[in-house]
Amino acid sequence: MSFHNHEHNHSHAHSTNTRILRVSLAVIAGFMLVEAAAGWLSGSLALLSDAGHMFSDAASLALALFAFKWAEKAANSRKSYGYQRVEILAAALNGLTLVVMAAWILVEAVIRAFKPVPVAGGAMLAVAVLGLLVNLFVAWYMLRGEKDNLNMRGAFLHVVGDLLGSVAAVAAGLLIQFYGWNWADLAASAAVALLIGKSGWGVLAGSLHILMEGTPKGTDLMKIAEDIQKINGILGVHDLHAWTITSKKHAMSCHVIVHSGLTVAEADALAKQVQDVVQAHGIGHITVQTEPADSDTACVQACEQVSHGCGHAHD
């Protein structure tokens, strides 16, 4: 027999995230056009790279917004979990674009190092300061969203990367304006690219881990199995699987071996205890299959537990 428990939708959190993304997208897209024009006219790679990253910011915010709206679609017979994984796909794409953007900036910096281009420090500095203010506002505003949501995190890191780009552009503009150090533009661009690449890789890796049905971060399957086997009446546990459906929504399934001859009510009571134990580990969607000790499957698993010390725990 099986026992299921389902988490509730966080509709309020989604509404908040959606509103935050709409406002942030409008601000970012508007200033992106100003910064791109200023970077082109001044010849500043730092401004152009920052404008390019701002374009990716606008795209990432639009993608995250689309993902949230799409994820709200109801589950159906073809998509029994609904469309919540769209958020993870959006996060993966945002992480990938961060890595690609970082690589492009580094390549462009190397090219400029061998073929220097004059940089107008004054114009660069003025627009960079405005960009810094815009990014500070957007980053502050986005902090109101869900911090543990991978989709929001991917979009937020785009904005943080742009914020760092603005800081670097301001620093480079000051050095060029007062000391004539044109190389500062390249150094600032390279430093920001490395930071962007590192952040993007983290989001991409986290998204792929979820898409590959990896065990949720911080979940110890061996500890869960041990806690389940401490329940009076549970003789063993095997085929333990835990995965993430979407951010902050984890699931687990397992088979537990129980005494033969239990009534349906008694087996359900044990399954409920297993549910309570698993929920204490931060997992809310749980399926428990009970097996009598004299069944063929239970006998095989019992032998393996004697050999290996625990039931099967799969990632």
> Beta strand 249-258 with 285-292: parallel, antiparallel or unpaired?
parallel
More confident residue, 119 or 293: 293
Residue 147 pLDDT exceeds 90: no
pLDDT at 300 over 60: no
Please determine, looking at this structure, whether the domain spanning 221-314 carries the CATH number 1.10.10.10. no
The pLDDT score that the predictor gives to residue 191 is: 83
Average pLDDT for 42-58? 72
Residues 6+ apart with CB under 8 A from 199: 98, 157, 160, 161
pLDDT of res. 118: 63
Confidence of residue 254 (pLDDT cuts 50, 70, 90): very high
Are residues 163 and 82 in contact, defined by beta-carbon separation less than 8 angstroms? no
User: What CATH number does domain 9-211 carry, 1.10.3720.10, 1.20.1510.10, 3.30.930.10, 3.60.15.10?
Assistant: 1.20.1510.10
Is the pLDDT score of 303 beyond 70?
no
pTM for this entry: 0.73
Q: DSSP state, 231?
A: S
Task: Kindly report which listed range (87-91, 225-229, 230-234, 310-314) carries the lowest average pLDDT score.
Answer: 310-314
Q: Considering only residues 293 and 212, tell me which one the structure prediction assigns the higher pLDDT.
A: 212
Could you tell me the residue ranges of all domains in the chain? Answer: 9-211, 221-314
pLDDT digits (tens, 9 = 90+) for 231-241: 999 999 999 99
What sign does the CA torsion over 304, 309, 311, 312 have?
negative
Confidence of residue 123 (pLDDT cuts 50, 70, 90): low
Q: Distance between CA atoms of 113 and 126, rounded to whole angstroms?
A: 24
175-195 pLDDT per residue, tens: 877 777 777 778 888 888 888
> In the prediction, which pLDDT does 220 show?
93
6 or 245, greater pLDDT: 245
pLDDT in tens, 160-176: 877 887 787 778 778 87
Greater pLDDT, 204 or 33: 204
Cβ count near 57 (within 10 Å): 35
For 210-218, what is the mean pLDDT? 92
Question: Could you give the 3-state DSSP secondary structure of residue 145?
Answer: coil
Q: Using CA atoms, how far apart are residues 22 and 61, in angstroms rounded to an integer?
A: 8
Tens digit of each residue's pLDDT (9 = 90 or more) over 5-28: 444 445 566 678 888 999 999 998
Instruction: Please give the average per-residue pLDDT across 243-261, as a whole number.
Output: 90
Question: Tens of pLDDT along 74-111?
Answer: 888 888 888 888 989 999 998 998 898 889 888 888 88
